[in-house]
Amino acid sequence: MFGTTVTVVGNVATDVVLRNAQDGSPFVGFGVVSTERRFDKKTESWADGNKLFVWVTGWRRLANGAAASLKKGDPVIVNGRLQVDEYEKDGEKRTVVKIDANAIGPNLAFCTADAQRTRADDVIPSYLRSVDLDQLSGDPLPPPLSAVAV
């Protein structure tokens, strides 16, 4: 099934809540608000524009990582499948924008992060692990090349 993939940059707007589904799978849910910033030429300053609120859901390892790493107010980047649900409450039609996340992380333009892997064998695929090429060939590698623009 195809879906619309989006990336939203904003701040965590609610508590980050970790729960378990009926089958025991962990999932996390939290709100993200993304606020447009505009430069006002009259006042020569930045002002807030439109705001977008999305509800983010992540599953399994992503859920555990988000719950352990994020809190309300943190700058965040979320990527995932967009879903728009409409419902009625007290006779009033409402709309909620949701993202089923496949990636969640801190926005390093506004914070720093210390990445900590839980178990390297489970998290890093074997083809991404570093290899000491000197150990494989027995010959030392030449120094790295550098490029100089002329």
102: domain CATH number? 2.40.50.140
Per-residue pLDDT band at 113 (split at 50, 70, 90): confident
Q: Which of 42-46, 52-56, 74-78, 131-135 has the lowest mean pLDDT?
A: 131-135
Number of domains in the chain: 1
Backbone angles phi, psi at 73, to 5 degrees: 100, -20
61 phi and psi angles, rounded to 5 deg: -60, -35
CA gap 141, 134 in Å, rounded: 6
Give pLDDT, residue 3: 82
Domain assignment present for 16:
yes
What single DSSP character describes residue 118? Answer: S
In a domain, residue 150? The reply is: no
Do residues 28 and 69 touch, judged by C-beta distance below 8 A?
no
- Contact between 35 and 49 (Cβ < 8 Å): yes
Q: What is the pLDDT of residue 115?
A: 80
Residue 80 lies in a domain: yes
In a domain, 46, yes or no: yes
pLDDT number for residue 8: 97
Q: CA 41, CA 64: separation in Å to the nearest integer?
A: 44
Task: Determine, yes or no, domain membership for 145.
Answer: no
CA 63 to chain centre: 11
Q: What would the pLDDT profile of 24-53 be if each residue is shown by its tens digit? A: 999 999 999 999 999 989 999 999 999 999
Does some domain include residue 32? yes
Sort residue 82 into left (φ over 0), alpha (ψ -120 to 50) or beta.
beta
Cβ atoms of 134 and 140 within 8 Å: the answer is yes
CA angle 85, 10, 57 (to 5 degrees): 40
Domain that residue 77 falls in: 5-137
Residue 144 lies in a domain: no
Q: Which one is predicted more confidently, 148 or 33?
A: 33
The overall pTM is greater than 0.85: no
Is the pLDDT at 130 greater than 80? The verdict is no
Domain annotation covers residue 147: no
